[in-house]
Structure 1
Amino acid sequence: MGIMESMDSTSREDLASPGPGDVVDEPGFADVAAVMAVKHLDDAKSRLAASRASEPTDMHRALVLAMMRDTLEAVTAAGIGHVLVVSPDDDVLLAARAAGARGLREASGPAGVEASQLLNHAFSQAAAAVRGHWPAARMVMMIQADLPAATAASLRSLVSAARGHREAVLTDRDGTGTTILVRDTAVSDPPRFGADSAAAHRGAGAVELDPGRVRWPDLRTDVDTAADLDAAAALGLGRYTAGALGRRSPADQRAAAAACRGQC
C-alpha cells in the first residue's frame, strides 16, 4: 500500500524527510501541521446539494473537490510545515497528493454514530498520524475543507494568534460552528465538531480567537448552503471553485487586467 492507503506503511524516517506536504523554507510555521477530514464525495455537502437542487451530481462532486483544493492551496501557500488530508474517497486523496499534501485513508469509525462524530473520529485519526510521524510538529490545525475564499495571509495571521494557547478556536460567520481548531499536538482528546461546536470547544478549554468576529472573514466562511457560497464569492473565490462555477477568480481577474493593460 502507498501513502494514500496508510501512512503506517511508510517509515518514520521517510515521512520525516522533506516531501509532498512538507515545507522546509518557512521556519515560522515548520512546527505546524494542518489536517483536513473530507467525506466521500457522494455524501459530502448534502445541504449544499439540496440548496442547489438543479445541479447534476457530478458537478456537485466537482464543486466539493474544488473547494477542498482551494483550501489546500491556501494552507500550502501559508508555509504550514506539514499538510495531511484524511478521507475514504480515492478522488479526494489523489487531489490532496496532487496539491502537495499527504493523504491518509480514513479508518472505519464506530458503527451507529452521527456524521459529526465520524468527522471527529477522522480528525483524531489525522492528529494521531501527525504525532506519530512528525514528532517535531508542536501545533496541529484542524481546518474544514470548505473554505474556498481562504487566503494564505489570513492563515499565517491566525496561526500566529493561536501560538501560546493549548487550544484555540475560530468560529464560523454566525459564531456557533467551528471552521478551524488549533491545538497543541499533545492534546489527544477528540475534537468537538458538529452542532454548536464553538460552545463545545470553548467549554473544553479552547480560547476563542477574535470573539467579536471581525478578523479573518475568509476563514469563517465555510460553505454549507448556496447562500454561504454566495458569501464566499463576495470575498473572492479561489481558482478551483471559481472554475467549477464557471467564474473567474480574483487572481485570474488580476492576470487578465495585467495582460490587457494598454492593449485593450
Structure 2
Amino acid sequence: MSNTVVAGWTLIVPVKPPTLGKSRLAGAAGAHRAALALAVALDTVAAALRCPAVAEVLVVTGDPSAAAEFAALGARTLPEGTPQGLNEALRRGAESIGSAVPRAALQADLPALRPDDLASALSCASAYPQGFLADSARTGTVLYTASPGASFSPAFGGASRARHLALGAAELPCPELASLRTDVDTLDDLRAALGLGVGPRTAEVASLILACSPG
C-alpha cells in the first residue's frame, strides 16, 4: 500500500436510457419510473461534480436526450454505442480517457450522495492500484477505482463485491460513507435514501411516487 495521495479523478458513470432504468421499481413507481431513473442519475452526477477530488465526470449513455441534460450540468458525455452491458460501457469510457489519470466507476443510482463522502472514498482509494466500495448490503459495489497505470477491470452486477475481491481489488477501509453506499433499486432503498437527504430532482419525483404508495 502506497502513501501517495492521488487527486484529479475522472469518474465514469454509466447511465441506461431512463425508459429502461429502475426496472425493479416498475410496480411501485408506475408511470414515474423513467422520470425517477433520470432524476436519480442527474442528482448523482451533480453531487459528483461538486466533489473537490473529481476533475471530470464522464457519463456513458445511449440516450441523446439524457446526455444533453448531463452535459448541461457540466459532465462530459460519451455515446454508449451498441449496448453490451454496464461493465463494457465502463471500459469504453476508460479507453476514451487513457490510463495516465486516476479513474473511477460510480454507480448512477446514488441520489443521497454527498461530495465529501465521495472525496473521502477517493482519498482512501489513492493508496491502492485497484479498489472498490461495497453497497450498504455488502453484496454489490457502488464505486470501483483504478490508480494511474493500473488496469481498469470493473465487475459490477449482482454479487459484485465477491467478484471484485476475487479479481484482486482492495475493499476500501471506509466504515461509514452512508450517502455513497445507499444505492436505489427498490422502494425501501428509495425511502432509505430519502432519510439521508436526496437531491432536488429525486425528491420531486419521489414525492409523487410515495403519495400513491401504501405505507
Do both proteins adopt the same fold according to a TM-score greater than 0.5, normalized to the shorter chain? yes
Which residue pairs with 1:121 in the alignment?
88
Which residue pairs with 1:9 in the alignment?
none
Aligned pairs for 1:1-264 within 5 A: 31-50=8-27, 52=28, 55-56=30-31, 59-79=32-52, 80-109=54-83, 118-131=85-98, 135=100, 137=101, 139-210=102-173, 214-246=175-207
Number of corresponding residues: 203
- Offset, 1:238: 1.2
Q: Which amino acid aligns with 2:155?
A: R
Separation (CA, whole Å) in 1 of partners of 2:80 and 2:185: 22
The C-alpha deviation readout for 1:65-114, integer Å capped at 9, x for no partner, is: 1111111111111131011000101122111101100010002145xxxx
Higher relative contact order (CA 8 A, sep 6+): 2
Q: Is the 8 A contact 2:141 2:161 kept in 1?
A: yes
- Offset, 1:30: 5.1
- Offset, 1:149: 0.3
Q: Is the 8 A contact 1:30 1:82 kept in 2?
A: no
Q: Is the 8 A contact 2:22 2:34 kept in 1?
A: no
Q: Secondary structure at the match of 2:19?
A: coil
Identical aligned residues as a percent:
36
Answer with 1 or 2: which has the greater Rg: 1
Q: Is the 8 A contact 2:124 2:173 kept in 1?
A: no
Which residue pairs with 1:5 in the alignment?
none
Q: Secondary structure at the match of 2:98?
A: helix
Q: Secondary structure at the match of 2:12?
A: strand
Q: Which 5+ residue runs of structure 2 have no aligned equivalent?
A: 209-215
Tell me the TM-score normalized by structure 1. 0.72
For structure 1, which segment, 34-43 or 141-150, has the greater mean C-alpha deviation from structure 2 after superposition? 34-43
Q: Secondary structure at the match of 1:142?
A: strand
The C-alpha deviation readout for 1:185-227, integer Å capped at 9, x for no partner, is: 433453110121001001111111137xx31011010001111
Separation (CA, whole Å) in 2 of partners of 1:241 and 1:164: 33
Q: Which amino acid aligns with 2:15?
A: V
- Offset, 1:178: 0.3
- Offset, 1:36: 0.3
Q: Is the 8 A contact 1:124 1:188 kept in 2?
A: no
Separation (CA, whole Å) in 1 of partners of 2:181 and 2:203: 18
Separation (CA, whole Å) in 2 of partners of 1:43 and 1:188: 30
Separation (CA, whole Å) in 2 of partners of 1:170 and 1:30: 18
Separation (CA, whole Å) in 1 of partners of 2:150 and 2:195: 36
Two-structure CA RMSD over aligned residues (Å) = 1.9
Q: Which 5+ residue runs of structure 1 have no aligned equivalent?
A: 1-27, 111-117, 248-264
- Offset, 1:246: 3.5
Separation (CA, whole Å) in 2 of partners of 1:144 and 1:177: 10
Separation (CA, whole Å) in 2 of partners of 1:69 and 1:121: 21
- Offset, 1:40: 1.5
